[in-house]
Amino acid sequence: MNLKKPIFLFPVALMLGGCASYQDSVYLRHDKILDDIEQNAHLYECRIMPKDELTITVSTTTPEASAPFYRKIGMTREQTNQNQGMNNAKLLDYLVDNDGCIDFPVLGMIPVSGLSTRQCEAVIREKLQAYLNEVPNVTVRLSNYKVSVLGEVGKPGTYTVDDERITIFQALAQAGDMTLFSDRDDVQLIREDSLGRRNVVHLDLTQADIALSPYYYLQQNDVVYVKPTKAKVRSNTLNSNSSVWISMLSLAATIASLVIIAVQ
């Protein structure tokens, strides 16, 4: 009777272990919490930081009027008012320096760090009106908005964000999602602020309140690291050592065979 009890408990333990592993692989548990918490109704806007690259275009009713306020690759400052032969050239991006400024033609140094692209457009538009007889159309876009995803994902790599907004789940989706051997309740986010200070944040993606986190939306140059589970590490360790164990067992079997033959 005592022998049957462990046999009976074995499948129960196996089932419980399977349930635990299933729970560990599910995103956004307890999602009802999002209905119970009052959320601020505003859309996310990324902020310009030092070392960002901005594509800025200025449009007016007459192209000659806006020509001095943009440069293209191969065009010097003195050539900004000459459009001949440059119509099909690529626009030159503006690098935000360590002080958070861009060097804009005619206008000079403009502080833009901490602004959204819409706010940056408004600042440039206001400064341009002193040189134009109309309100120009100004467009600012981030050209180097990238995030990196590595670790236990399908396709680790660096991904470009075209619409200047990406959630951590969208980044994981681009990277082929997490594998079944990933640690979903301790995903690490490495972020550098505008002053160059780096910080590592630990995120639990199994809980729905991650959607309320300030780290739900990724900033430019964020790095997401998905750690492997302990079971995956142990499995890899066993696999890497399997050849050593096989060699040792083979050697032991050979020695045992020689001893038996010698004794006979």
Kindly report, residue by residue over 201-210, the tens digit of the pLDDT: 999 999 988 9
Closest CA to 95 of 109, 77, 85, 79: 109
pLDDT at 204 (0 to 100): 94
* pLDDT recorded at residue 83: 46
Total residues found in the chain within this entry: 264
Instruction: Determine the distance from the C-alpha atom of residue 58 to the mean position of all C-alpha atoms in its chain, rounded to a whole number.
Output: 31
pLDDT of 152 above 60: yes
pLDDT tier for residue 50 given thresholds of 50, 70 and 90: very high
pLDDT of residue 187: 96
| pLDDT-derived band at 158, boundaries 50, 70, 90 | very high
Q: d(Cα 157, Cα 9) in Å, to the nearest integer?
A: 45
Q: Write the DSSP symbol of residue 134.
A: S
pLDDT at 16: 46
Q: Residue 221: left (phi > 0), alpha (psi -120 to 50), or beta? A: left
Residue 260's pLDDT band, with cuts at 50, 70 and 90, is: confident
Percent of the chain past pLDDT 90, that is, above it, reads 47
Residue 107 φ/ψ region, left for φ over 0, alpha for ψ in the -120 to 50 degree band, beta for the rest: alpha
Distance CA 138, CA 72 (A): 16
Phi, psi of 61 (to 5 degrees): -65, -30
Residue 97 confidence (pLDDT) above 80: yes
pLDDT mean over 34-49? 77
Q: Does the pLDDT of residue 14 top 60, yes or no?
A: no
Q: Which residue type occupies 212?
A: L
The answer, yes or no, to whether residue 3 has pLDDT greater than 70, is: no
Query: Mean pLDDT over residues 5-23, rounded?
Result: 48
pLDDT at 35 over 80: no
Mean pLDDT of the chain: 80
Predicted confidence at residue 85, as pLDDT, reads: 38
Q: pLDDT tier at 4 (50, 70, 90 boundaries)? A: very low
Region 169-187: what's the mean pLDDT?
A: 93
**Residue 26 clears pLDDT 60, i.e. is over it:** yes
Highest mean pLDDT of the ranges 14-28, 186-200, 225-239: 186-200
pLDDT of 10 strictly over 50: no
Average pLDDT, stretch 163-173? 94
- For residues 141 and 123, give the distance between their C-alpha atoms in angstroms, rounded to a whole number: 14
**Average pLDDT in the 212-223 region?**
94
